[in-house]
């Protein structure tokens, strides 16, 4: 702030007169910016680049084994899909998971807050692209992964390090990106 020339005691400096208005205009600009361009509501996991947390989950269905951290340390990248039978969008991404599976991508699932019979019915209806499916009844592994919803998918490299997080449904147009991330994790 520049020091104004010597003042008579009563007269306000031009700064004192205009500063509040300038501040208010700045505040208004900030509010308009915030209203017209609301931020994303997705919560990204801070675990990308870090090793998978230690976990061992019971099988979610009878015809697939459960899922544990050790299952990812097998030298090849795997796709970890967080889903639930009660999650409507999860059915939408089933065809995309199925086509990845047919391309030879190893996919494991974690069913969140789900019953065995419901998971089985969901897979019977939408296809089962999973090699292993763990059952996470209290979202414990989901919280440990920094995942905040279903569906979410993680690319895990062959050493068990999380390399990429995909939030929401894997749509057909997302497939090239997923393939690229799996390739990078080789």
Partner 1 sequence: MRLLACLLALWFAAPAAAQDSMPPAPWAYRQLDDPAQEARAQALMETLRCLKCQSQSIADSDAPMAGDMRSQVRQRIAAGEDPEAIRSWLIERYGDYVSYTPRLTSLTWPLFAMPLVLLALVMLLLRRRLRKGDSA
| Binding residues for partner 1 (CB under 8 A) | 9, 41, 43-47, 84, 86-88, 112-115, 118, 137-140, 142-146, 148-149
Shortest gap between Cβ of 177 and partner 1 (angstroms)?
22
Nearer to partner 1, 31 or 74 (CB): 31
Shortest gap between Cβ of 138 and partner 1 (angstroms)?
4
- Pair 80, 154: CB distance under 8 Å: yes
Cross-strand bridge partners of residue 155: 79, 164
In DSSP notation, the chain reads -PPPSP--TTPPPHHHHHHHHHHHHHHHHHHHHHHHSPPP-----TTTTSBPPP-EE-BSSTTS--EEGGGG-SSS-EEEEEE-TT-HHHHHTHHHHHHHHHTT--EEEEEES--HHHHHHHHHHH----SEEEEETTSHHHHHHT--SSSEEEEE-TTSBEEEEEES---GGGHHHHHHHHHHT-
Nearer to partner 1, 112 or 185 (CB): 112
Shortest gap between Cβ of 75 and partner 1 (angstroms)?
26
Shortest gap between Cβ of 113 and partner 1 (angstroms)?
4
Nearer to partner 1, 58 or 180 (CB): 58
Distance of alpha carbon 46 from alpha carbon 182, whole angstroms: 19
Nearer to partner 1, 48 or 131 (CB): 48
Nearer to partner 1, 45 or 99 (CB): 45
Shortest gap between Cβ of 186 and partner 1 (angstroms)?
26
């Amino acid at each position: 702030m520049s020091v104004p020339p010597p003042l008579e005691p009563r007269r306000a400096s031009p700064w004192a007169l205009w500063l509040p208005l300038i501040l208010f205009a700045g505040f208004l600009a900030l509010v308009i910016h915030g209203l017209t361009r609301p931020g994303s509501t997705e919560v990204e996991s801070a675990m990308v680049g870090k090793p998978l947390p230690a976990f061992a989950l019971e099988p979610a269905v009878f015809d697939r084994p459960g899922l544990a951290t050790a299952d990812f340390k097998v030298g090849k990248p795997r796709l970890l899909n967080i889903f639930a039978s009660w999650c409507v969008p999860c059915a939408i991404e089933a065809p995309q998971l199925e086509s990845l599976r047919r391309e030879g991508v190893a996919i494991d699932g974690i069913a969140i807050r789900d019953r065995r019979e419901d998971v089985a019915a969901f897979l019977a209806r939408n296809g089962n692209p999973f090699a292993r499916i763990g059952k996470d009844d209290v979202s414990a592994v989901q919280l440990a992964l920094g995942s905040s919803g279903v569906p979410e998918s993680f690319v895990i490299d062959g050493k068990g390090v999380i390399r990429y997080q995909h939030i929401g449904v894997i749509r057909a147009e997302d497939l090239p990106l997923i393939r690229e991330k799996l390739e990078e994790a080789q």
